[in-house]
Structure 1
Amino acid sequence: MTATLAPADQLGARLHGVALILVGMSSVQFSAALAVSLYPALGPLGVVTLRLAGAAVLLLALARPALRGRSRRDWRTITLFGLVMAVMNVCVYLSIQRLPLGAAITFEFLGPLTLALALSRRKLDFLWAALAGAGVLLLGSGLDGADAVGVLFALAGAACWAAYILLTRHLGQAFSGMEGLALGAAVGAVAVLPLGISAAGAELVRPGNLALGLLVGLLASAVPYSMDLLALRRLPAGAFGIMMSLNPALAALAGFLVLGQELGWWQLAAIGLVVLASAGATAASGTRRARAPAAR
């Protein structure tokens, strides 16, 4: 698209794309901070339920997917995608109950980072892996009294995030637009519904909680996915992937501004190392089209 534009127009399009990505990433991370504020009333499982229900309703309304004419293979992919999405969200929200938001997202970002390193074949990848490892060690040593269960949940979320990215590729090949994503989100919402009812009960349908939970679904799904689709029309896939590497840093900022979670210089340096490693690995992979969780 940008090949036929004048240099000034190309620069403008790319800056516009960068702005769209920043809006989308900020929406995801600040929605996570908003979700934490609902924990006293709903707990993490109740919040996950409303978040996925809100995402499913919004995405189904936007995509209006056809249910007929799907093969068994399509439904298996949708079901697996929805279950991975559900487990990923449960792990993410349980981890940020126990860890500062920036630290939790940094651990979880090891999933996409590991995937990027696995898909690339350059010797420089050893440097990125070493930087990421140093960042994780530094982050772990700097979190005094860190909840080991929270770290395990974050690492489980990282594994699910990598699987989510791979399954998103399959959905993109099998379905047009947002159809596969919408159906997968619906499966994920149904999967976590019993957990949410068990954990929060009638609190799920209290108007205030319901409105905030659906707002979390909007901010974490519809807004970033729309922003990313628009951004990918203006930016190369490699540049898009590098921008996504800022997620841990934005999570730390959201945790500080919304939740008052302060991180020391060591923790900030650790997050910076992981961000640098992820950006470098994404750049090295070149043509890989990285997509951090739109309906995450």
Structure 2
Amino acid sequence: MDSAASPLEGRPGRGLMMISASALSTQSGAAVGSLAFSTFTPVGVVAARQVVASVVLCAIARPRFWRFTGAQWWAVALLAFFFAGMNTALYSAVDRIGLGTAVTIEFLGPLAVALLSSRRGRDLFCALLALGGVVLLTRPGPTSDLLGLGLAAAAAMCWAGYILTNRLVGKRVPGVQGTAVATLLSSAAMVPIAVAILWNTTIPAEAFLYAAVAGLLATAVPYALDLIVLRHITPLMFGLGMSLNPLFAAVVGAVFLREEIDSFGWLGIVLVVLSNGLTLLGKGQLRRRGRMIDLQADGSAVR
């Protein structure tokens, strides 16, 4: 597609709007999915998401997995592990500590990857800024849900592992075939758990609807938007747009789930978003890698 035919070329505002729509869809999907937690459980909702993700990505990539080598399968299997672990830990954390808090803590994963890939002095300031933001948001104490906070931290570590492994898969497997097969493997691993839940629990029809909507909003819609916008905007703008995810999660949680975040918590979320923005603005080595891009954008388009 040439620049004259692109509706986004030279219009960064429109590109940012599409990135924001992607982030809003992702967090809205998580909010809708949380409505099914009480009966379908977070694991069941994640299984539904994984199935939707695998269908969408395999339809787009049409992977020829029967041609994969042993080295390719090893990388793809590891990516599938991080993919399943990231979403399972995040949704379990959302169930305990709320959407805004869980997503903000999870976002420390890609932020850590960005910070550790640089040795500039200002990145230490960004790290301290993010740490201060999380402390303000969670204010850990005797009454804190330590398990929920731990699950969010596990989601952050899995997201960091997902980004690093995604780079390895990108080098070994052409296009997005590796990511597509990884989602297929992760969904295959999650489906038996969902079947066991269905077998032992009477689940109302609306829970299935919530899980299906979560899969569409949190996977299909964001991936389609990201795939379009990544062709026409800089990786820097994409990364900055994705930085808004914690803020969108907090807003969606407050408006639709009636989650309460005090002024210190909102300040903490803003500090984490600001820290990520400052880190990206100083990254001179940002560059395109086909349809995937460096730093946290590597793992943002497919979550």
Within the alignment, does 1:293 sit opposite 2:293 as a pair? no
Q: Which residue of 1 aligns with 2:112?
A: 114
TM-score (norm 1): 0.91
User: Which amino acid counterpart does residue 43 of structure 1 have in structure 2?
Assistant: T
**Which has the larger displacement, 100-109 or 63-72?**
63-72
**Aligned position for 2:273:** 275
Indicate conservation of the 8 Å contact 1:132/1:273, yes or no.
yes
Structure 1 residues 103 and 143: alpha-carbon distance in aligned structure 2, compared to 1, 3 A threshold = farther
CA distance in 2, matches of 1:252, 1:29: 9
| Aligned with residue 184 of structure 1, among 166, 173, 182 | 182
Contact 1:60 1:183 in 2 (8 A): yes
Indicate the residue corresponding to 2:233 in structure 1.
Answer: 235
Rate the CA distance shift 1:273–1:144 in 2: closer, same or farther, 3 A. Answer: farther
What is the percent sequence identity of the aligned residues?
34
Q: Which runs of 5+ in 2 are unaligned?
A: 287-293
- Of the candidates 15, 18, 22, which is equivalent to residue 17 of structure 1? 15
**Larger helix proportion of the pair:** 1
Report deviation, 1:101: 0.7
Q: Is the Cα contact below 8 Å between 1:220 and 1:294 reproduced in 2?
A: no
Alignment match, 2:146: 148
The 1:69/1:142 distance shift into structure 2, 3 A limit, reads closer
1:75 aligns with 2:73: yes
What is the TM-score normalised by the length of structure 2?
Answer: 0.89
Note the C-alpha offset of 1:63. Answer: 2.1
Matches within 5 A, 1:1-296: 11-12=10-11, 14-141=12-139, 145-201=143-199, 208-288=206-286, 289=294, 290-291=296-297, 292-296=299-303
Letter matched to residue 113 of structure 2: L
Say what the alpha-carbon RMSD is for the aligned residues.
Answer: 2.4
What amino acid does structure 1 have at the position aligned with 2:124? Answer: F
Task: Return the letter of the residue paired with 2:55.
Answer: V
- Asked if structure 1 preserves the Cα contact closer than 8 Å seen for 2:100 and 2:251, the reply is yes
* Distance in 2 between residues matched to 1:286 and 1:163, nearest whole Å: 23
Shift of 1:78: 1.1
Contact 1:203 1:209 in 2 (8 A): no
Contact 1:92–1:153 (8 Å) recurs in 2: yes
Whether the 8 Å contact between 1:115 and 1:162 is mirrored in structure 2 is yes
Q: Secondary structure of the residue that 2:249 maps to in structure 1?
A: helix
| Cα pair 1:238 1:287 within 8 Å, conserved | no
Q: Distance in 1 between matches of 2:145 and 2:246?
A: 19
Aligned to 1:124, what secondary structure does the other structure show?
A: helix
